[in-house]
């Protein structure tokens, strides 16, 4: 019986395993993950999990038993230590060996290492794994706390917004002058930042962290400016780097900081697929030959595509990239591939409760970020599907029905 081996128990890996069964793959499905928890949804970690409002049964979607019932063998708490592309074998950290017919690498990202002294102190948390998020939850559960959050990306801003909404105080420290400007562009990032500060999140931008203070336990951070931010806990959310070790062991070609794949998610090595954060994939929605996207919806789509291709020999990833960011009571939904220097056209008055920012490049619609307006976003999806790019005036006018424009062609 053929064996499909999936390495990585994140969202892309789980999607691959579940989809293999859904499309009727006849072989064995083995998923190897280095965490002890079965695959779980990662987005809630920086939001509902840390503040204790998450339904963990929903976050951790299945148990070992139900995976077994579905014909998926989970090997948890083990890593792949060696692999041979010719023999098609992988050696695990528990000493066992698995032969594969198809291999899906879904190893995701590891937290970025930064040389800030004191990050190893108790009371400093990362937020990339569920055990870490639950450790934060335990601290926050004992009453209002002061959080110092290093890093003003989506994860840091989400954690800050969730904490503030639950009675804590949060200071976000971002070394770059404009938090979230890279994914959202400057003018949109400024609006989102304003909404966060309106809700009580303190943001210090353009200043680095010199060290984490505290004797036995983190008591705050010292900034490069010399200022000291007192804190009961410190969250380090300064980004992540793709985990390429296994792909490199197998000799997979690399591109764009990740593993080069074709539209079926196959790497340069026959029978080896790469999905999720690590995959540099072709997308007709991007200018580049291949892009990497570190967001859940894309990761799930990658896993589904690889599984379909393994099972049926068909399947291409052609999804319009999308992501969301829940920041307290605000949800940003974005579709398309934006660049920081895109021209921004707003629909609505650039404010809550509902508005949309359109991203144009060379006059053409490339992406949209919407808050509280799913109808407009749905219209944008239809425009992309139809290959229709409206004028800036049409985009800005709330009375213009984008879905109708798409239908008219």
Partner 1 sequence: MAQVSIGSLSDFPEGTPTFAEADGTRLCIVRVGDKVHAICDDCPHAEASLSEGDFLADDMAVECPLHGSAFNLESGDPDAPPATEAVQVFNVTVDGDTVLVEV
Our CB check for partner 1 shows the closer of 45 and 272 to be 45
Residue 60 is a binding residue for partner 1 (CB under 8 A): no
Residue 279 is a binding residue for partner 1 (CB under 8 A): no
Length of the chain (residues)? 409
Our CB check for partner 1 shows the closer of 78 and 354 to be 354
Only segment of 65-73, 210-218, 296-304, 384-392 that touches partner 1 (CB under 8 A): 296-304
One residue of 219, 333, 356, 376 binding partner 1 per CB under 8 A: 333
Residue 61 is a binding residue for partner 1 (CB under 8 A): yes
Rounded Cα distance between 270 and 85, Å, is 9
Tokens representing 299 are: 């990761």
Our CB check for partner 1 shows the closer of 59 and 119 to be 59
Only segment of 48-56, 71-79, 112-120, 260-268 that touches partner 1 (CB under 8 A): 48-56
- Our measurement of the distance from residue 264's CA atom to the centroid of its chain's CA atoms, rounded to an integer in Å, reads 21
One residue of 7, 15, 148, 149 binding partner 1 per CB under 8 A: 15
| Residue 131 · residue 19 · CB < 8 Å | no
One residue of 83, 300, 365, 367 binding partner 1 per CB under 8 A: 300
Cβ at position 163, least distance to partner 1 in Å? 17
Rounded Cα distance between 121 and 25, Å, is 47
Tokens representing 128 are: 């990339």
Tell me the helix, strand and coil percentages in the chain, rounded to 5.
30, 30, 40
Rounded Cα distance between 300 and 180, Å, is 24
Our CB check for partner 1 shows the closer of 267 and 325 to be 325
One residue of 18, 213, 223, 311 binding partner 1 per CB under 8 A: 18
Residue 375 is a binding residue for partner 1 (CB under 8 A): yes
Cβ at position 295, least distance to partner 1 in Å? 9
Residue 301 is a binding residue for partner 1 (CB under 8 A): yes
Element (H, E) at 21: helix 11-22
Q: Give backbone dihedrals phi and psi of 69, rounded to 5 degrees, phi first.
A: -60, -35
Give which of 333, 327, 315 is closest to 381, Cα–Cα.
333
Rounded Cα distance between 17 and 4, Å, is 9
- Find the angle CA(96)-CA(100)-CA(102) to the nearest 5 degrees: 145
Residue 377 is a binding residue for partner 1 (CB under 8 A): yes
Q: Which residues pair with 74 in a beta bridge?
A: 31
Pairing type for strands 279-280 and 258-260 reads: parallel
Cβ at position 389, least distance to partner 1 in Å? 21
Give the footprint of partner 1 on residues 307-326 (CB under 8 A): 319, 322, 324, 326
Cβ at position 214, least distance to partner 1 in Å? 34
Backbone angle region of 248, left / alpha / beta, with phi > 0 → left and psi within -120 to 50 → alpha: alpha
Residue 152 is a binding residue for partner 1 (CB under 8 A): no
On the CB side of 368, CA atoms within 13 Å amount to 30
Residue 70 is a binding residue for partner 1 (CB under 8 A): no
Only segment of 36-44, 106-114, 198-206, 241-249 that touches partner 1 (CB under 8 A): 36-44
Cβ at position 297, least distance to partner 1 in Å? 4
Dmax of the chain from CA atoms? 66
Mutual angle of helices 186-198 and 154-165, in 10-degree steps:
20
Our CB check for partner 1 shows the closer of 258 and 303 to be 303
One residue of 16, 20, 33, 41 binding partner 1 per CB under 8 A: 41
One residue of 71, 331, 351, 404 binding partner 1 per CB under 8 A: 331
Residue 44 is a binding residue for partner 1 (CB under 8 A): yes
Residue 296 is a binding residue for partner 1 (CB under 8 A): yes
Rounded Cα distance between 180 and 113, Å, is 20
Residue 138 is a binding residue for partner 1 (CB under 8 A): no
Our CB check for partner 1 shows the closer of 51 and 221 to be 51
Provide the Cα torsion 174, 180, 186, 188; round to 10°: -130
Mutual angle of helices 296-312 and 11-22, in 10-degree steps:
40
One residue of 92, 139, 297, 386 binding partner 1 per CB under 8 A: 297
Cβ at position 59, least distance to partner 1 in Å? 10
Backbone angle region of 402, left / alpha / beta, with phi > 0 → left and psi within -120 to 50 → alpha: alpha
Binding site for partner 1 (CB under 8 A): 15, 18, 41, 43-44, 48, 53, 55, 58, 61, 296-297, 300-301, 319, 322, 324, 326, 331, 333, 374-375, 377-378
């Amino acid at each position: 019986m053929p064996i499909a081996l999936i390495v990585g128990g994140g969202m892309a890996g789980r999607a691959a395993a579940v989809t293999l069964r859904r499309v009727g793959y006849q072989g064995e499905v083995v998923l190897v993950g280095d965490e002890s928890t079965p695959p779980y949804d990662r987005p809630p970690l920086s939001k509902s999990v840390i503040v204790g409002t998450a339904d963990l049964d929903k976050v951790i979607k299945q148990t070992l038993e139900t995976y077994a019932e579905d014909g998926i063998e989970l090997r948890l708490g083990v890593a792949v230590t060696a692999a041979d592309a010719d023999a098609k074998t992988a050696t695990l950290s528990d000493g066992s060996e698995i032969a594969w017919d198809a291999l899906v690498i879904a190893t995701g990202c590891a937290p970025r290492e930064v040389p800030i002294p004191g990050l190893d102190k108790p009371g400093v948390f990362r937020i990339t794994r569920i055990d870490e998020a639950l450790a934060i939850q335990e601290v926050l559960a004992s009453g209002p706390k002061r959080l110092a959050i290093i890093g003003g990306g989506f994860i840091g801003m989400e954690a800050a917004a969730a904490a503030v909404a639950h009675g804590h105080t949060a200071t976000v420290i971002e070394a770059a002058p404009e938090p979230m400007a890279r994914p959202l562009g400057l003018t949109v990032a400024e609006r989102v930042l304003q909404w966060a500060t309106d809700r009580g999140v303190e943001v210090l931008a353009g200043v680095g962290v010199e060290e984490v203070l505290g004797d036995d336990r983190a008591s705050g951070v010292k900034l490069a400016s010399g200022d000291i931010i007192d804190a009961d806990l410190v969250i380090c959310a300064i980004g992540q780097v793709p985990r390429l070790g296994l792909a490199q062991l197998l000799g997979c070609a690399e591109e764009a900081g990740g593993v080069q794949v074709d539209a079926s998610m196959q790497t340069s090595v026959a029978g080896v697929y790469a999905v999720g954060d690590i995959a540099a994939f072709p997308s007709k929605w991007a200018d580049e030959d291949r892009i990497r996207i570190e967001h859940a919806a894309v990761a799930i789509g990658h896993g589904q595509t690889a599984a379909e291709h393994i099972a049926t020999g068909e399947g291409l990833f052609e999804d319009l990239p999308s992501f969301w960011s829940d920041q307290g009571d605000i949800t940003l939904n974005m579709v398309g591939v934006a660049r920081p220097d895109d021209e921004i056209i707003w629909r609505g008055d650039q404010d809550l409760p509902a508005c949309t920012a359109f991203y144009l490049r060379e006059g053409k619609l490339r992406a949209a970020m919407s808050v509280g307006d799913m109808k407009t976003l749905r219209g944008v999806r239809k425009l992309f599907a139809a290959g229709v790019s409206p004028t800036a005036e049409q985009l800005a006018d709330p009375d213009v029905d984008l879905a109708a424009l798409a239908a008219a062609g």
